[in-house]
Amino acid sequence: MLILLAGIFLLHIASIVLLLVATIDNSWWVTEQTATDLWGTWVYQNGNWNLTNVVTNSQEYLQAVQATSVLACIFAILGLFVFIAQLFTLQKGQRFIFSGVFQFLACLCIMIAASIYTDIFHKTDRGQYGYCFILAWIAFCLTLISSIIYFVLRKKVK
């Protein structure tokens, strides 16, 4: 049972790490000379990387993606603390509903962020998706699995 607990804990921490990296690092879309979104654009000029502002026609959508990915991080981190608290305070036989709710909210938020980004941005640009974009979708899967586990798991009755 301790292994199961450790596994769930590691899954949660992995999802937090992936969410943080996807949110903080500016690499949702890359070309040969640039790596851009969500907070700035890195441009490779004369042997140096320079950070500039993101130039886009959809400023509002970019800010929505920023907001929801930040919210996903916040919910995942809060969910970790709630899970640890519920480990000690939950009655035997009860489910970890509260932590599951937080992970589910994180899943929802990162899904909204990644979906908006996929649908709105870079439809006609040359380039490819960067690793942060991929990590965001992987984090969506991890948080979904994590929240389902929390909804199903019961505290040990003995």
Partner 1 sequence: MLAFLALASIALVGIAPQCQAIVIYTGWERHALVGSDVRLSCSFFSWRWTSEDVTFSWSYRPDGSRDSISIFHFTGGAPYVDNKGPFRDRLEFVGNPSRRDGSILIKNLDFNDNGTFTCDAKNPPDIVGRPSSVRLLVFENLPVQAGVITGAIIGAVLGLLVLIVVIYYLMRFLVARRVFNLSVSKHGKKGKGKEGSQQRQPRRTPPFSFLSS
Residues found near partner 1 in the complex (CB under 8 A)? 59-60, 63-64, 66-68, 70-71, 74
How near is the Cβ of 24 to partner 1 at its closest, in Å? 14
* AA identity, residue 110: I
How near is the Cβ of 25 to partner 1 at its closest, in Å? 17
* Complex with partner 1: residue 66 or 115, whichever CB lies closer: 66
CA dihedral 63, 68, 69, 71 (to 10 degrees): 130
What is the CB neighbour count within 10 angstroms for residue 113?
A: 27
* Complex with partner 1: residue 64 or 120, whichever CB lies closer: 64
How near is the Cβ of 103 to partner 1 at its closest, in Å? 14
* Complex with partner 1: residue 31 or 66, whichever CB lies closer: 66
Give the residue among 66, 36, 59, 65 at the shortest CA–CA distance from 49: 36
Q: Which residues pair with 50 in a beta bridge?
A: 43
